[in-house]
Amino acid sequence: MSLLRAFVAIEIPNEIKKEIAGQTAGLQRAIAQSVRWVAPENLHLTLKFLGDISSTNLGVLTQALETEASQQAPFQITVGSLGAFPNMHRPRVIWIGLEAPAGLGKLQHSIDAATNRLGYPSDDKPFSGHLTIGRVRQQSSSAEMAGLRSALEKTKVGLMGTFSAKSVHLFRSDLQPDGPIYTCLFTAALGGRPFTR
């Protein structure tokens, strides 16, 4: 039995990833030392972080994903705001915001409930759809944090695009010194349609 680090997510189209990289390039240069930036190819909308899963559980997990995805129709997501958790004054995670219909929350909740029944604990924080673009380094000095806050306040981003969420993916995450490598293990189409890229 082998263990895989895994999560469930919606993929972001490449043109939107490029737009995010372009609109945040100045911010990334300004605070390069204080933040670990997510590589554009790794941007995704996480619905459920599973942690370590057993390879023997893949069958029941993919079946559960397929069932939940089939009950939710595809929907549109608009990408285009900048924020931070817990807030802009004490940033720990820098993110790009999303506008989506209630279907996104419903999909996340149903996947969370289904995986919870399989033994994967629910997150104790309420779901907030976002794309993490950077994580603030814990050892940042107070001067670096002041510079970070100032750069975040000055950065204005516009609309980065709208796309149709048609499927959810089970990703494997392999942690490497240069950053994680994500591999798609399974895709479930929303609405039960055959999945096409």
- Tell me the CATH architecture of domain 3-190: Alpha-Beta Complex (3.90)
What's the Cα-to-Cα distance from 55 to each of 23, 74, 102, 115, 179, rounded to whole Å?
39, 29, 33, 15, 23
Q: Which two tokens stand for residue 30?
A: 């300004």
- Looking at residue 147, its amino acid is G
Q: Which residues contact 175 (CB under 8 A, 6 or more apart)?
A: 5
Dist CA 93 CA 90 (whole Å): 9
**Nearest-5° Cα angle at 62, 60 to 64:** 70
Indicate the helix (H) or strand (E) that contains 48: strand 44-54
Q: Tell me: the pLDDT tens digits for 25-37? A: 999 999 888 899 9
Which of 44, 89, 109, 169 does the annotation list as catalytic?
44
Distance of CA 111 to the CA centre of its chain: 15
- For residues 59-87, give the mean pLDDT: 95
pTM for the model stands at 0.91
Q: Tell me: the pLDDT tens digits for 116-170? A: 999 999 888 889 999 999 999 988 888 889 999 999 999 999 999 999 999 999 9
Evaluated on CA atoms 107, 111, 116, 117, the torsion sign reads positive
Neighbours of 161 (CB within 10 A): 16
| 21 class by beta-carbon count within 10 Å (0-12 exposed, 13-18 middle, 19+ buried) | middle
169 a catalytic residue: no
Residue that wins the pLDDT comparison between 150 and 195: 150
Neighbours of 172 (CB within 10 A): 18
Q: What is the pLDDT of residue 193?
A: 62
89 a catalytic residue: no
Helix intervals (H) in the chain: 14-30, 58-70, 102-117, 142-154
C-beta separation of 151 from 25 below 8 A? no
